[in-house]
Each structure stands twice: as structure tokens, then as C-alpha cells.
Structure 1
Amino acid sequence: MSEPLLLTPVFHDKIWGGTKLHDEFKFRGATGDHVGEAWIISAHPNGPTTVRNGDYRGQTVAELWESHRELFGMSEDAVFPLLTKILDANQDLSVQVHPDDEYAKAHAGELGKTECWYVLEAAEGAEIYYGHHAQTREELAELIKAEKWDELLRKVPVKAGDFFYVPAGTIHALGAGVMVLETQQSSDTTYRLYDFDRVDATTGKLRELHIEDSINVTTVPHEDPKLSITSEKIEAATITTLVEAPHFSVYKWSLDGGYAQFHRNDVPYTLATVIDGQATLSVDGMVYPLKKGDSFILPADVEDWTIQGHIDLIASHPGIAEK
């Protein structure tokens, strides 16, 4: 019988984290005052998520990737390519930049890290750091070494419902009061450029920076990606295409009551997370209740499914990575 893979998230405390992952999403494992990240769909060794239903209950996505590649359309990717998170920035994150695949493979032994953010919540006046003002790599290095952060860093105001595509090489950070759903390549390689001189509570020292790597991988000059965000109706659903890119495509599915039938088409598998509301998911005659915070994979043997209710989901599937 075809069935969705419902997942249990993994949580990571961060110096900048807060309590919203428990308060807003009711995640049982998100205990403490500094929970910064929920890894909600992951096969990465630093936090693989576990299936909580059906024939594969108790197995991680990483284990299924190794032993049941048929669930993923017999993908030939060396590793499960995507990672979905929810981030709660109670304070500003460190300003950072990620490498592309080539640099990451040579220096970190894993995928590069292109990502994107769908803004779930933003406090009044909240901002993100997105891009920089340097016109040459030499100017970038000079401004960094002189610690002229106000001159270098570009700030952008944000509100709930905004979407940002963050290709590898983009200087970026979430600002305080921002919560996002992040879809990214399955990588945990981050180069920290600036951290507001914060002290690590464990070591009592300033957190490590990666200045040379940051300068090496930053795209200069910065240029905002050109997005073509479009929407279409499928029965009671509004499907918004947020980005279709080499590493992933990301969509928002919204239903305001009623139901919609979906088809897999040419997609090998689909990842989905409920960001608001509740509904039912019907697959192969079985009905699965969905609520805010639930994440699941629709594997390759799920050809059709129906969603009914009042609900918003962020869905994604892998793209074709550039060679």
C-alpha cells in the first residue's frame, strides 16, 4: 500500500534561539529557552528525522535512502539532497555565507548550501541581512578587515509571507523576531563572517569566525535573484510557485476549505510541511490528519493524493543540480 512518510523532527539549541518552536508549533521536543532550529525533513547525519507511521515506522530518512531507494524514484544522488528546517530567531543570527558545491566538496566533503526562506512570522520592524554593498572582492576584504559592518552589510525589512532565495555565495542572516521555514541543500557547512562579538556560554570565548573562507566564496558584487512568483488554482487549492531552481523547487499550497486532488507528475518525491491550519490527507484509501507543524514525504509510489480542509503547506522537490 502506498503511504506518506510522516516525520518526527530533531531540535537544535542555538545562542540566538527562543521558545516559538514550542509555543507556536507545539513541538514536544522543543524544550528550553534557546531552541533555534527544528530539522523537520532531514537525512543529514547531524539530525536525521524519523518516520512515525506505517511500514517504515522507527526508521530514519537516511536509512530509507540507503535501503529503499525505490521510495525516492531510484534517485542516483549520492545523498538525500534536501533539508527542511524551521528557524526561530529570537536574536540576530550570525552573519554568514555558504559555499557552492565545488568549494564545499573540496573543503568540507559535503554538498554546498543554497537555501531559501518563507517568512512565517516577523515582529514589527524586523529585518534580515541579505547581500552586501562591496563592488569588488578587494573592497569586500577591506571592509571586513576594518569591521565596517554598517557600510558593508545590506539590511532588508521583512514581513510574514515574504520569500527569499539565498543562493550559495550570498551574505545573509535572519534578524531578531523573524521565524522562517527554510528549504536548503542537505549541508551543514556555514562560514561565519560576523557574530556581533557574542561570547559562547560554554567556552567563554568569542565564537569562531571563518573570514578567509567567507571572502573566498562570497559572490561579488551582490545581485538579487530574479524570481517569478506565480499562482494557479487547482479545485479548492491555490498553488503558488515560489522558486524553481537547479537544486530545488518550492511551492505554497493553500486551501480555504474544500478539497483538491494532486498528482505526482514527473516529480520523484515531494516534501511538505504544514505551516498553518489543519486538514486531512488521503492516500490510497487511507486518511491522515494534518495539523500545524506536521511534515511528511510523499514517496515515489504515491501517484495521487487529496487534501481537504483549511490549511497552508510549503512543499518542495529536488531539482536537477548543475554539473
Structure 2
Amino acid sequence: MYKEPIFLKPVFQERIWGGQKLQTEYGYNIPFEHTGEAWVISAHPNGPSIIENGSLAGKTLKDAWETHGELFNKQSDNEEAYPLLIKILDANDDLSVQVHPDDTFAREVENVPYGKTECWYVLSAEPGAELVLGHCAKTREELAAMMDNGKWGKLLQRVPVKAGDFYYVPSGTIHAIGKGTVILETQQSSDITYRVYDYDRVNVEGNKRELHLDRAKEVTTVPHKPASSDHITEIHGGLTSEKLVATDYFSVYRWQLNGTANMNMEANFLQVSVISGNAEIMVGDKRYPLKKGVHFVLPYGIGEYKLTGEAEIVASHE
């Protein structure tokens, strides 16, 4: 049994709205002028993370899922793709307004295993930053009419955003991350996006990006249903754990570590992202340093582990 954390190297994605904060704030060696996304824990074929340590070093997380299912307590080789994807997004400009399908639509129409329900933990936000979250249409006919006539000011709901905010975004929710916001996104492992509105922007060739209004009208939840969750806080020695959301797709926690915490892992696997501070994790008799921008998976069967230091961490599992 693999008895150590699986540390991962991010995969970067160029986006028209991306910037440089993944380098200036997180120290990553980014490859693009407009780097919008770091896929920091990913087994998705469009950007699988590379394992940095142990006997699987140089392999991808996708490889590990497919050939070493025991690390994730897979019940059979026929089990579907790795279920989750963790990203850091740097919105140097407004993202397009978009919506994602649920599992049923994704499987029947797109022939992929997962739709996309997601959630956002806001890492930083400039003054005045906003999100688009939801819409004002009361019926599907009203939604279609407002989309077709470009009534975006009346259709879209906007909310102010600040560091430390958390939002749960189920499939079917019209949404967009606004300029000046950096978020950690926990989502189903899906890359399906139906673009609703893109502010009439053009790419370097002078062309507008494709919209997907027909699909968007099909999958959008009408009327909009605001999502909420009860945050539950527990203390584990020097660690305060706040459960941000628990759904059929994932559970997400914010950990504030101040000192030492003896932990016991009960999930099939645990995804861990260090978003500030310095700490270490001890598994068995081995210690591993942790700092801002480090991401890893604790595999199945780790059992007890110890965290020591001063750090803010976001953890998640199925």
C-alpha cells in the first residue's frame, strides 16, 4: 500500500481572461501571458497533473487512477473516471457567463461520465469585484427571450465578492467569475461549458468566441434556486475544520492550522491544497514540508497523519 502523500505538479491553461497572479501570488512558473487556470489536482484527459514523488513519479494522476485503483479504494476496474478536479483561477478579466449540464445530460448528449457541479473558495478579490450567480427569469420562455434579445442587465444576478467567501454552484446555475478575483474551484471532473454571453469580446484573430445558447437554454435551472449550505465547525487539536459543503458530488473543508493536529483519514482519498502559510505533514515516520501552492492527494489506507505549523488549507473528498 502506498503510504505517502501523492504530490502533484499543476497543469496550466491559457485563457483570454487570464493574467499573471498564478506566478506573482503562488510562485508557479506559468507558460502563458494570459494564464487563466492551474489544474492543480487533475486526472482529466485535457490536463492531468504529474505526480512528483514516490514510485509513481513522472506518471499522471490519471495513470494512477487507471492502474492503481487501490490508492483510491476503487471497487472495480470498470469504475468511472476520477471524479473530481481542483483548479486555481486567475480572473484578470471577466470570465464568460456560462452554465454546465448535470450528469444525465452530460452522459446522454456529450457522452462523457460527469456533468459539472462546482464550488468556489475566494482566495483574493480586488475592491469592487463581483460574480454573476443566477438569473431573474421566471419561466423557460422568459429565459430564452431575454437571452435571444441580449437583455443581460435584466437577466443576470450579480453579487459582490471578497476573500474568504464560499459559493456552491450546482449544475444548471448561470454563473461567471468577475475581474480581479482569484478562486480555488472544487468541481466534478468535467470540461463541458456552455457559453451564454462573452461581452462581445474578440480573440487575437478578431473573432468572437462561440456561444452555446441552445444547450444553455436546455440545461439552465428555471427559476434560479439559490444554493446554500450549513457550515459545521470542528476542532482537532490545533486545527479548526469548517465544513463548507457536503453534497453527493464532494465535501469541502476549510482548515485553519495553528499548531499540531493528529488526524485520521476516513475518506477513500483526500485532496489537499495549501493556500497560505507553512506547515508539514507527517505520515508514518516521514515528514513532508508544506507551503502555499502545494497540492497533494492522501491515498486510501493512510489512516493516521499529523499536521504541524501555521497554514490555511482547503481539503476535499467524494
Letter in 2 for 1:27: Y
Q: Is the 8 A contact 1:22 1:31 kept in 2?
A: no
Structure 1 stretches of 4+ with a deviation exceeding 4 A read none
Q: CA deviation at 1:68?
A: 0.3
Q: Which residue does 1:120 correspond to in 2?
A: 123
Q: Which whole-Å CA distance do the structure 2 matches of 1:160 and 1:263 have between them?
A: 29
Please name the residue that 1:131 is paired with.
134
- 1:165 — aligned with what? 168
Give the alignment's TM-score, normalised by structure 1: 0.96
Aligned-CA RMSD value: 0.9
Size of the aligned set, in residue pairs, is 314
The partner residue of 1:91 within 78, 90, 93 is 93
CA 1:172–1:75 in 2, change beyond 3 Å: closer, same or farther? Answer: farther
1:317, CA displacement in angstroms? 0.3
Taking the TM superposition and a 5 Å limit, the aligned residue runs for 1:20-169 are 20-28=21-29, 30-76=30-76, 77-110=79-112, 111-169=114-172
Partner of 2:264: 263
| Counterpart AA for 2:173 | T
**Secondary structure class of the residue paired with 2:44:** coil
1:212: how far off? Answer: 0.3
Alignment CA distance shift 1:225-1:68 (3 Å): same
Alignment partner of 1:212 is 2:227: no
Partner of 1:321: none
Deviation at 1:106, TM superposition (A): 1.6
State the TM-score, normalized to the length of structure 2.
0.97
Matches within 5 A, 1:167-182: 167-182=170-185
Distance 1:248 1:105 in 2: 19
Distance in 2 (CA, whole Å) between partners of 1:75 and 1:33 is 42
For 1:195 and 1:279, the matched residues in 2 are separated by: 41
Displacement of 1:52 after TM fit? 0.3
State the AA in 2 paired with 1:250: V
CA contact (8 A) 2:257 2:308 kept: yes
- Give distance in 2, aligned partners of 1:57 and 1:105: 32
Tell me the residue number matched to 2:10.
9
1:204 Cα offset (Å): 2.3
Cα deviation, residue 75, structure 1:
4.1
> What is the rounded CA distance, in whole Å, between the counterparts of 2:19 and 2:111 in structure 1?
31
Residues 88, 184 of structure 2: 8 Å contact kept:
yes
**What secondary structure, in the 3-state scheme, does the structure 1 residue paired with 2:63 have?**
helix
Q: Which stretch has the larger CA shift, 301-310 or 173-182?
A: 301-310
Alpha-carbon distance between aligned partners in 2 of 1:62 and 1:212, rounded to the nearest angstrom: 32
Q: Distance in 2 between matches of 1:141 and 1:288?
A: 53
Mapped to 2, the partners of 1:109 and 1:200 lie a distance apart of 29
The 2-side partners of 1:123 and 1:84 are apart by 22
Q: Secondary structure at the match of 1:222?
A: coil
User: How far 1:32 sits from its partner (Å)?
Assistant: 3.2
Q: Distance in 1 between matches of 2:183 and 2:275?
A: 10
8 Å CA contact 2:273, 2:315 repeated in 1:
yes
